[in-house]
Amino acid sequence: MKRALISVYEKNKKLFNFVNFLYKKGYQIVSTGGTYQYLIKNGLSNVIEVSDITSFPEILDGRIKTIHPNIYGGVLANRSIDRHIKSIRLHKIHFIDIVLVNFYPFIEEMKKKSINSLIEFIDIGGPSILRAAAKNFLYVTPIIDDNDYELVQNEIVDYGSPSLILRKKLAGKVFNFTSAYDSAISQYFLMDDKFPIYLQSSYKKKMKLRYGENPHQEAAYYVNEMHQGAMKNFHQLHGKTLSFNNLRDMDIAWKVVSQFSEPACCTVKHSTPCGVALGKDIIEAFKKTYYSDTISSFGGIMAFNIPITKKLAKEINHIFIEVILSPNYDTDVLTILKIKKNIRIIKINESISDRLEYVQIDGGILVQESDYFFNHEENYQIVTKKKFTDQELQSLFFAQKVVKYVKSNAIVIAKGTQTLGISGGQTNRIWAARQAIERALEKSKKGLVLVSDAFFPFRDVIDEAARSGGIGAILQPGGSIRDKESIKACDDYGIAMAITGKRHFKH
């Protein structure tokens, strides 16, 4: 007679129905204490308790239940090896054909428990017996995911038992889950070690994406099970399914506006901010952002750090935006925005929390601290004869928070708290400077400031800024062997410049 071992933390109607199905199909049901009591209480008779098989009671508050040769022998025996069969028969051990286990919820409980109580949520027996079943998938069906009950049930109905193809797939899911489970525990104990010897990950698939960066590339979105994050807990309230590129641009747009306490708006296109502004209210922030680059804003991602108003919703409906992000939406605001059938409306109110960033390269992963959490406003040295005005200083530090998210080489031209010219991704800095200045001069000729993500290798950027006639202040990291040439150029032109000592490359 076939046997199924059932030992679960999460007990529900779905589980009972599946176990009842197995029982009706002739499986002997073997179970541990809590699960045993649940099944009996709900009317499933003739369940065998594990302690009856091991002839040993559960001990240490349930820490040891299934760890016994009478259980593991029935799971691990290779049924094609005669000496395994003889050993099983000699010790009067029964084969176990299905192992259904789910674990203590360590990941869920780690946010609530102290270390002493959390230790009890580190499952030992569950992962061990399930790994044993997965190792012996040639003969045993391992089940960790309740979404697989129906698959197993269907194959038992159709073929009498789960197929080898299904057993192999379920074994893979077991090792996939146990590795993530162990990874979560490891990360919890090593949380103060930013760069451990082995890089662990616990990411769970949130959604399958329509495609990747291009339609011929398959893609999926995974969220970090260990940590919170703005891109983990957002809610889509309307519109088409999000794409791979949408999610990347959403991340940047939200990081930009989250830096500011004033009403802020940011439009991102192709992973680069194309317009950013602050305002006395959200309408002003929107208008300044949009009119800073109306062409690039077309089909972009627009983020706001405070809720959208009815007046703003009507303004947004006059332009083409792919995605809107805001901390909240009143019902009447949503009604207005939903006039546009396909616009993706995202409610997001989580603060930025990821302190590490990961970039995959072929054969490896680069890991670094996030630049988001470094405050640079306190560290600057004015190196020119001319000093900043208070307005210039405010504008420079505003632009510096933007330049961090522009691809290097990056130049941002701003006036007040509005970007007027952004250029990045160039292979030399003078090209980026010329493009940013040209775009800025289309909108304003005076009161401009320039921020660079890295030092000036030559004085040519200063010369270009001076020719514009409108740039009066510059902020840059410094560190070039020709810094003195740049400083002299600023003094000759009457431009104020400060050096921060911190660059902001974004490759």
Does one domain contain both 338 and 249? yes
The total of structural domains in the chain comes to 3
- The pLDDT score that the predictor gives to residue 93 is 84
Does one domain contain both 176 and 144? yes
Does one domain contain both 339 and 488? no
Does one domain contain both 112 and 177? yes
Q: Is the bond preceding residue 409 a cis peptide, omega within 30 degrees?
A: yes
Output the DSSP codes for 291-324.
HH-HHHHTTEEEEESSPPPHHHHHHHTTS-EEEE
Q: Tell me the residue length of the chain.
A: 507
pLDDT tens, N- to C-terminus, the chain (507 residues): 899 999 888 888 999 999 999 989 989 998 887 888 888 888 888 888 877 777 677 777 666 777 787 888 889 888 888 888 888 888 888 899 999 998 877 777 777 767 777 777 787 778 889 999 999 999 999 999 999 999 999 999 999 999 999 999 999 999 998 988 888 888 888 877 888 887 877 888 898 998 999 999 999 999 988 778 888 889 999 999 999 999 999 999 999 999 999 999 999 999 999 999 999 999 999 999 999 999 999 999 999 999 999 999 999 999 999 999 999 999 999 999 999 999 999 999 888 888 888 888 888 888 888 888 876 666 899 999 999 999 999 999 999 999 999 998 999 999 999 999 999 988 999 999 999 999 999 999 999 999 999 999 999 999 999 999 999 999 999 999 999 999 999 999 999 999 999 888 888
Return the active site residues. 135, 270
For residue 189 the two structure tokens come to: 């104990």
In a domain, 485, yes or no: yes
Which residue, 502, 386, 490, 392, is CA-closest to 455? 502
Does one domain contain both 134 and 216? no
For residue 247, what are the CA distances in angstroms to 57, 207, 232, 234, 425?
Answer: 52, 12, 11, 11, 20
In a domain, 354, yes or no: no
Last residue of a domain, one of 167, 189, 211: 189
Does one domain contain both 308 and 431? no
Does one domain contain both 209 and 166? no
- The pLDDT score that the predictor gives to residue 62 is 65
Last residue of a domain, one of 159, 189, 219: 189
- The pLDDT score that the predictor gives to residue 434 is 94
Say if CB 31 and CB 48 are below 8 A apart. yes
Say if CB 127 and CB 106 are below 8 A apart. no
DSSP, collapsed to helix, strand or coil, labels residue 499 as strand
With tokens 């200083």, the residue in question is 393
Q: Which residues contact 446 (CB under 8 A, 6 or more apart)?
A: 469, 470
Say if CB 428 and CB 451 are below 8 A apart. no
Distance spanning both ends of the chain, measured CA to CA: 62
Side-chain half-sphere CA neighbours of 262 within 13 A: 15
The residue range of the domain holding 52 is 3-189
- The pLDDT score that the predictor gives to residue 497 is 96
Q: How far apart are CA 467 and CA 461, in angstroms?
A: 10
Does one domain contain both 59 and 124? yes
H/E run at residue 414: strand 411-415
Does one domain contain both 182 and 207? no
Does one domain contain both 21 and 154? yes
Does one domain contain both 225 and 305? yes
Q: How far apart are CA 360 and CA 478, in angstroms?
A: 30
For residue 106, what are the CA distances in angstroms to 114, 115, 190, 201, 228?
Answer: 12, 11, 15, 15, 16
**Edge-to-edge strands of the sheet including 28-31?**
48-49, 28-31, 3-7, 98-101, 141-143
Does one domain contain both 340 and 398? no
In a domain, 367, yes or no: no
In a domain, 419, yes or no: yes
Write the CATH number for 394.
Answer: 3.40.140.20
DSSP, collapsed to helix, strand or coil, labels residue 380 as coil
In a domain, 14, yes or no: yes
Last residue of a domain, one of 189, 219, 239: 189
